[in-house]
Amino acid sequence: MDMDGEVALPEGRRILVAVDESDESVQALRWCLATFFAARGAGDTIILLYVRPAPPTYSVLDASGYLFADEVTSAIDRYSREVADAVVEKAHKLCTLYSKEMGDDDHEMKVEVKVAVGDARSVICQMADKLGAGLLVMGSHGYGFFKRALLGSVSDYCLRNASCPVLIVKSQHE
C-alpha cells in the first residue's frame, strides 16, 4: 500500500478475481473494478476465475436395483457447467458495463475468463500462481467463528497459502 492507503500494483497488472454465485463475490468484483480500473486500466488484465466442484464419484441404485450413476453424474456435471457459465457471464457483463461507463478507450480493460474444477481453496491458489496473478481479490461470506470452524473458509485458506497478495473484500453485513 502507498501512503494514501491505496494498493499499488505495477503497470500491466494481472488481477485474479475469484467469483461464485454469492452477492459477496459480486461486491468484491465491483470493488475491484472501482478501485483498480477507475484510475488507470491501460494494459491491465482482470482474470475472472470460477471453480466448479469435482463431479461425484459414487454410485446410486434406484428402487429396482439398477445402477444409474452415469445419468446422475452427468446431470450433476451438466448443472455445474450451467451454473459456471451463468456466473462467469454475469461477471463478464459487469466488467463490460463498467468499462463502457468509464467511456475511455485509453483505459480498455482486458478480461480473461477461467473455469476450473476441484476444491476451491487449492484450485484458486494454484491458478493464481499458474496465471501469474499480481493480486488475488475475493469476497468474504462473513461466516462467524463457528461456521468458519465447521465449514472452513476459502478466503482464509487463500490468505495463508496463495503465492501472491490476497485482498479480501468484506461483505456489507460484516
pLDDT, tens digit, for every residue of 86-130? 999 999 999 888 877 776 555 567 899 999 999 999 999 999 999
SS3 label, residue 99 = helix
Examine residue 26 and state whether it is found in any structural domain, yes or no: yes
Please give the radius of gyration of the chain, using alpha carbons only, rounded to the nearest integer. Answer: 18
CATH of the domain at 106: 3.40.50.620
Q: How many CB atoms lie within 10 A of CB 84?
A: 20
Cell of 38: 477507475
19-33, 65-79, 142-156, range with the lowest pLDDT: 142-156
As beta bridge partners, residue 169 has 139
Examine residue 35 and state whether it is found in any structural domain, yes or no: yes
CA distance 106 to 118: 37
Examine residue 62 and state whether it is found in any structural domain, yes or no: no
69 has a pLDDT exceeding 70: no
Examine residue 25 and state whether it is found in any structural domain, yes or no: yes
Examine residue 22 and state whether it is found in any structural domain, yes or no: yes
43 has a pLDDT exceeding 80: no
CB burial string 10-42: b at 16+ within 10 A, e below: eeebbbbbbbbeeebbbbbbebbbeebbeeebe
Examine residue 174 and state whether it is found in any structural domain, yes or no: no
Distance of CA 114 to the CA centre of its chain: 9
Examine residue 73 and state whether it is found in any structural domain, yes or no: no
Domain that holds residue 115: 14-54+90-169
Q: What is residue 65's predicted lDDT score, i.e. its pLDDT? A: 53
Averaged pLDDT for residues 143-169: 76
Say how many domains are in the chain: 1
Examine residue 82 and state whether it is found in any structural domain, yes or no: no
What residue has cell string 474444477? 117
* Phi, psi for 57 (deg, rounded to 5): -125, 30
Cell of 51: 471453480
10 Å CB burial of residue 134 (0-12, 13-18, 19+) is middle
> Closest by alpha carbon to 45, among 116, 138, 108, 117?
108
Strands 166-169 and 135-139: parallel
As beta bridge partners, residue 93 has none
